[in-house]
Amino acid sequence: MPAAAREPAVPATWREEYGMRRYGFHGLSCAWALGRTAELLGQHPQSSTW
């Protein structure tokens, strides 16, 4: 996927610092976002109480 298609429209520092990228399928993006959020919070994705 070309860089313009895989990079979200956010500041470059966010992409570099948080490893943000866009995927070709919405489900993959959601799965990555959930995993990355859990990683940053130090939690397992399935441990949510909401």
pLDDT-derived band at 33 (thresholds 50, 70, 90) equals: confident
Q: What is the pLDDT of residue 24?
A: 67
Question: How many angstroms separate the CA atoms of 45 and 35, rounded?
Answer: 6
- Our separate counts of H helices and E strands in the chain read 3, 0
Res. 32: pLDDT tops 70: yes
**pLDDT mean over 37-50:** 76
Question: How many angstroms separate the CA atoms of 6 and 48, rounded?
Answer: 28
Res. 47: pLDDT tops 60: no
Higher-pLDDT residue of 47, 22? 22
Instruction: Please provide residue 15's backbone torsions phi and psi, each rounded to the nearest 5 degrees.
Output: -60, -40
> b/e map of 12-43 (b: 16 or more CB within 10 Å)?
eeeeeeeebebeeeeeeeeeeeeeeeeeeeee
